[in-house]
Amino acid sequence: MKLPDWKIRLIFGLKLKQLRQEKGLSLSELAQKSSLSISYLNEIENGKKYPKADKIALLAHTLQVTYDSLVSLKLTKHFAPIGDLLESNILEQLPLDHYGIDVNKVLLQISQAPLQLSALVATLIEMARNSELSQNNFSRTAIQTYKELNGNFFPDLEAIADEFCSKFDLASDHTIDLETLSKILVEKFHFTIDETTLGKFPEFGSIRGVHISDSKTKKVLLNQKLSTYQKSFIVGKEIAYNYLNIKDRSHIYSDISLNSFDELLNNFKASYFATALMIRKESLIEDLSGFFSSEKWNADAFLSMLDKYNTSIEMFFQRITNVLSKYFNIPSFFFLRFNSVIDSDKYSLLKELRLNTNENPGGYQTNEHYCRRWISIKALKKLEKTQRETNQGGGTVALIQKSTFVNTKNEFLTITVAKKSSFLENTNFSITLSILMTNEIRKKINFCDDPEIPSVTVNDTCERCNTQNCAERIAQPVEYERKIRDEELKNALRKLIESGS
């Protein structure tokens, strides 16, 4: 695998510095012996410059090593962890520059550290390679943290969306449909929208769309299987990329294909902008205020509000999470998306957002079994049962429950909508919004105390749950039992030491 130039410069600089120190030479002494300037050598050692062949030959002669050994990318044992770090893709996963951290300086600090720190670096690299970090989870977690720190509300993107609507005369109280968005993309940004080409390539069967832009053409290729609101979202994202002048992006409209923090961040910005266009915050705030004022939970009223905006369930819930903290002073909640293959007992948590709460039904612990008492799972099971009984693959289920976590005793008001995927074959999905209940929240959401809403004790996963006689349990509490055994062993060891035996 060919390393990028910046990594090659860093490795060469580290080797030069190592050889110089082994020879007992200061930077000024090496400069004097090689007839190269101190500043030039300093830039080489710091990975800023890579010398030309004649300069490399001069340095090799001065340090009494061969040319080939100096330009080799192989590092000594002391620097081997740094070489592994550079050869891995981990540094690309860490958005260090966004936090004002110079990668070169980090590596130079490591290079000057004792062997113990080198061993720690090697351990972290091995852990990353054997975990989901190597699959870009660090960057995704960084994006999640970015959203959480901002309350999932971004005034700058909201202002740009407002500016766009004003510029293109789009009313704030009117739903922007696919026809309107397509017209803007075609006429103002000179794109062609193609809904046939992707169907000729089986490899793109699970891809929602592809963007092609070069000096000759600008196209958005859409998958024919998409619903109208899914097409609207992609067209809205393409408008966002162009209006926001975003260049660092993927050709595929899927966050699975995003390989860097910049691509993930830009994808998030484009998605936020598109959602803000399609669901105007003024209208949503008004509708939510009316809905929260009701004394009784009304599933039909909630679904009617969803239908009004002619968007996907996920986009609607995501947009609600944008305004909850800012405009309703609801600070603690989480959002989840589960997928489930029909006629299976497997549930995949694909997306989550937590705001000021650590509770959720298991996070990304995909090797464990999510609590079947959780309403996200119940809604999927109910939808599948209805589909079997009616012999139809469609339908929508909206459920609500009060969910109290076993360990923390925190209670959440949890709303879930489940539906069949229009894009993925033989798959249902559920979208969940769960709000931490407090006395203040009960005053804001009047139907919180509706006696018709069931109250259920929940936990994270079966493996971590000590709930006795749980009819829904599908796996033994092995993680909980392991934790208890560890605590018992610690207590026994403490007593043994105190007894002096």
Domain boundaries defined on the chain: 5-140, 151-278, 281-464
Q: Render the burial of 276-303: b for 16+ CB within 10 Å, e for the rest.
A: bbbbbbebbeebbeebeeeeebbeeebe
What confidence score (pLDDT) does residue 90 get? 62
Q: Number of H helices and number of E strands within the chain? A: 20, 9
Residue range 68-87, pLDDT digits in tens: 888 887 766 666 666 666 66
Reading the block at residue 260, the tokens are 């860097």
Q: Has residue 11 got a pLDDT over 70?
A: yes
What confidence score (pLDDT) does residue 134 get? 46
| Predicted confidence band of residue 289 (pLDDT cuts 50, 70, 90) | very high
pTM check: above 0.85: no
Look up the CATH number of domain 5-140. 1.10.260.40
Q: Has residue 256 got a pLDDT over 70?
A: no
Residue type at 383? L
Least confident of 73-82, 338-347, 488-497: 73-82
What confidence score (pLDDT) does residue 73 get? 78
Q: Are 84 and 125 in contact (CB under 8 A)?
A: yes
> Of the CATH numbers 1.10.10, 1.10.260, 1.10.3470, 1.20.120, which one belongs to the domain with range 151-278?
1.10.10
The predicted model gives 250-272 an average pLDDT of: 81
Q: Are 426 and 342 in contact (CB under 8 A)?
A: yes
Residue range 101-150, pLDDT digits in tens: 666 666 666 666 555 556 666 666 666 555 544 445 666 777 887 888 88
Q: How far is CA 411 from CA 40, 263, 407, 416, in A?
A: 63, 36, 11, 16
| Predicted confidence band of residue 366 (pLDDT cuts 50, 70, 90) | low
Least confident of 96-100, 162-166, 314-318, 455-459: 96-100
Reading the block at residue 213, the tokens are 């832009």
Q: What's the whole-number average pLDDT of the chain?
A: 85
Q: Which residues pair with 352 in a beta bridge?
A: 336
DSSP state of 99: G
Length of the chain: 501
Q: What is Dmax (Cα atoms) for the chain? A: 87
What confidence score (pLDDT) does residue 135 get? 46
What stretch of H or E contains 211? strand 209-213
339-346, long-range: CB < 8 A, 24+ apart: 339/421, 339/424, 339/427, 339/428, 339/429, 340/380, 340/384, 340/427, 340/428, 340/429, 340/430, 341/426, 341/427, 342/384, 342/387, 342/426, 342/427, 342/428, 343/384, 343/426, 345/474
Query: For the chain, how big is the Rg over CA atoms in Å?
Result: 28
